[in-house]
Structure 1
Amino acid sequence: MPAWEILNQEAHAGLRVSRAVDGGRHFAQIVADEFLKAQPYYAILFTKHPETGAFYAGVVMGVEPGRNLLTEHGTLPDYRPADLERQGFFVADGNIVIDREHAVFSGPDGQALFEPDGSAALPLKRVQQALHTLEKGIPETDAIIQRLLSRRLLEPIDVSLDFDDGERLRLEGLYTISLDALHALPDEEVLAMFRQGDLQLAYAQTASVRHLRTLGRIRNSRLLDPRA
């Protein structure tokens, strides 16, 4: 069982949090409010929760589990999704709760959560904002996904990547918005999507798929130079 504790300054004054764990995350959940922030850097796709079968959105950062191809010196150089920012932290009964066994608290480059005067340091403020983003954004994003499904706009995406060493990797269980299906919608449906904000998100998501090719190029380059 996780060693969950309610976060408080007295008990956790010396606790430090590291971003180095990002290197082991190849996929992270995002919410609708993050689409436009994430789209310049990541492929945004949909997948199904393994236990519930419900769709959720996420960013692809690697083509193999446990390997993030976009980290530099152990951290992401660009937008960091809230799901990564809040690693090791949860909300329970209105309190911020931590899992003391999470690797985020054991990295050698950790930053303090609290200032010497007991106030929240910048890393903790980021965690608080991330938790708020997810708490507000997950139900909103679930509603958007239901609207996409009701319009039959989600379809599986075939992602097969070939590499110079002859290996082929296929990413399974990913979905994208079908532009063909979107463009075939009646005008009143498209107008409704525009007014709901769904249309902007749909085009951001479909445009982001190009980043999958970038991941393939990065992995290919590291076959020749593992330090790349």
Structure 2
Amino acid sequence: MSNHRILNSADHGDLRVHTGAGAQYGDNVMACLAPPAEFRQIQGHFPIVFRRDIETGAFGAVALFGFESGENLFLQGETWAASYRPMALAIQPFLIGRPAEGFDTPRVHVDTRHPRIAMGGDGMRVFDEDGRPSPYLELIAERLGNLDYAHRQSPAFFEALIRYDLIEPFTLEVPLNDGSRHSLVGYHTINEGRLAELDGEALGQLNAEGHLSPLFMAMASLSRFGELVARKNARIVGG
């Protein structure tokens, strides 16, 4: 169970964090959140697909690492087998939090029960011996700020896609070399046919609002499914 606390040097002066890759650190996940502002970095490595929140009905985007729960085909022992690590993973065990009341200034929080929290002398220091933020924490704070901003911009992207009817259900049948099949269901992607029908005014509006670039990045990312299938087959062969 998570235990989120506002990060401060008084309570967390000796805190250290494991920064490597590994299932023991929570990296054995099928997907992670991917805000549109990060699509450019993600699309060269991982497929980007959309999913609708059952409770709210709102759309969000994820970067896919595998085809089933708990499967990360880019995790090879203690190696992250890609040259990019999405921000939603890179910032763990930290997160941005805002007070329920009063001013809206975001604060850095830490999940003190996250598996990346190091016990003893291992791991990266969060504060130095004088209680000042370490270079590692400064980098994390920058990433958190970028990720928070990106998430707050995300709803406008999906509102634009819905306005122009550019989201459609997406199903992928994945035949594997051992004769088995995986069906990826419950996701959505860009309706390319509908996009091709948009007139210049609509495309111009999407571009003016900053949505056209991430839209095309999401479409381009689907080419990464070929590598994902190849990684799945390699894992089957390797056992």
**Normalised TM-score (structure 1):** 0.89
Find the counterpart in structure 1 of residue 35 from structure 2: 31
Tell whether the 8 Å contact from 2:26 to 2:115 is kept in structure 1 after alignment.
Answer: no
Identity %: 28
Structure 1 counterpart SS, 2:12: coil
Q: Match of 1:96, SS?
A: strand
After TM superposition, what 4+ stretches of structure 1 lie above 6 angstroms from structure 2? none
Q: 1:163 aligns with which of 176, 179, 195?
A: 176
- Give the match for residue 17 of structure 1: 17
Q: 1:58 to 1:190 in 2, by over 3 A?
A: same
Question: 1:114-172 deviations in whole A, cap 9, x for unaligned?
Answer: 23343323432232123212321112111111000110001111111111222211112
In structure 1, what is the Cα distance between the partners aligned to 2:145 and 2:199?
36
User: Which residue matches 1:87?
Assistant: 92
Give the structure 1 partner of residue 238 of structure 2: 225
Deviation at 1:212, TM superposition (A): 1.4
Judge which range, 105-114 or 79-88, deviates more.
105-114
Letter in 2 for 1:78: S
Alignment equivalent of 1:74, drawn from 66, 71, 78: 78
Give the partner amino acid of 1:116. Answer: E
Are 2:53 and 2:60, in contact at CA under 8 Å, matched by a contact in 1? yes
Shifted more, 150-159 versus 91-100: the winner is: 91-100
Which runs of 5 or more structure 2 residues have no equivalent in the other structure? 100-105
Distance in 1 between residues matched to 2:27 and 2:94, nearest whole Å: 18
Counterpart code for 1:137: A
Which residue number corresponds to residue 62 of structure 1?
Answer: 66
More deviation, 137-146/1-10:
1-10
| Cα distance per residue 1:92-132 (max 9 Å; x no partner) | 33322222112221589732222334332343223212321
The 10-residue stretch of structure 1 (34-43 or 76-85) with the greater mean CA deviation from structure 2:
76-85
- The residue aligned with 2:160 is 147
Report the Cα distance in structure 2 between the residues aligned to 1:107 and 1:28, rounded to whole angstroms. Answer: 26
Structure 1 segment 66-145 matched on structure 2, within 5 A: 66-76=70-80, 77-90=82-95, 91-93=97-99, 94-106=106-118, 110-145=123-158
Deviation (angstroms), 1:87: 2.4
Comparing 160-169 with 3-12, which one deviates more in the overlay?
3-12
Distance 1:42-1:97 versus aligned 2 partners, 3 A rule? same
Q: Which residue of 2 aligns with 1:4?
A: 4
The alignment's C-alpha RMSD in Å is 2.1
The answer to whether the 8 Å contact 2:174/2:229 transfers is yes
Instruction: Decide whether the 8 Å contact of 1:43 with 1:208 is kept in 2.
Output: yes
Amino acid paired to 2:87:
A
Q: Does 1:197 align with 2:203?
A: no
Contact persistence 2:28–2:75 (CA under 8 A):
no
Change (3 A) 1:13 1:138: same
Q: CA deviation at 1:188?
A: 0.8
Q: Distance in 2 between matches of 1:85 and 1:145?
A: 24
Secondary structure at the counterpart of residue 11 of structure 2:
coil
1:35-79 deviation line (CA, Å, top 9, x unaligned): 111111111111122432210011111112112111344343422
CA contact (8 A) 2:37 2:214 kept: no
